[in-house]
Structure 1
């Protein structure tokens, strides 16, 4: 006959759960449930925020103000971009200026768009593409938002 060491007598007298152990188990289980709900809420909130778009009333108010909605963190309206000054570039002998977006040198009498506040110049087609997705200068990162209600 083989002696088996793996047998266990399931006697109920040996299995006792005291009150404080039940309390700890319930506390851990409750904490797990609460953390799960918090995680799911944060995941839902992030997904909802990415999918939300400004209403047409907000877009109309922004067009009247000439700026960008605080809900949209990127880009400028095409109306604002079109209002930026365009000048003809004049070559100087001591310094060769270039568009820092496409890295091409400016030719004499070529049209360049000048950004307010920082006075950096770019090819209009280069900077227009940039400003549709960003609201700052590509070189110095100066903000170009007009009538922004949010103070930085």
Structure 2
């Protein structure tokens, strides 16, 4: 009778261990699926908010016209020692400049930004985001003291 009780007890322990292991595995799979759903929703929101921001970016403001923006110098970022870049980060988006980035240089103060960031800023504000000096153009296309030393 004692041996039979021992066998039943061992089987109960093995069954409960197996059930516990399966429940743990099920919980881990549930957490992974939940994480994937949350991340995909966040990515979708970020993508849609970037699209909305880009649509609103070039709405007319008190800044420069699109024609004036095209007159400002642009260049492709080539090296970390590029003398046209006043800092290693864009002051508008706070991202680092990377090789191949299209950058815009404000001629009066010589500050540089990602072209897209500068354009979004300058459509709304006609001044440099760093030093608040004139961007080099007045509304309507008149140049103001442009110098390209």
Q: TM-score range by the shorter chain?
A: 0.3 to 0.5
User: If the length of structure 2 is used for normalisation, what is the TM-score?
Assistant: 0.45
Query: Greater CA radius of gyration, 1 or 2?
Result: 1
**Higher helix fraction (1 or 2):** 2
- Specify which structure has the bigger relative contact order, considering alpha-carbon pairs within 8 angstroms and separated by 6 or more residues: 2
After TM superposition, the score normalised by the length of structure 1 is 0.44
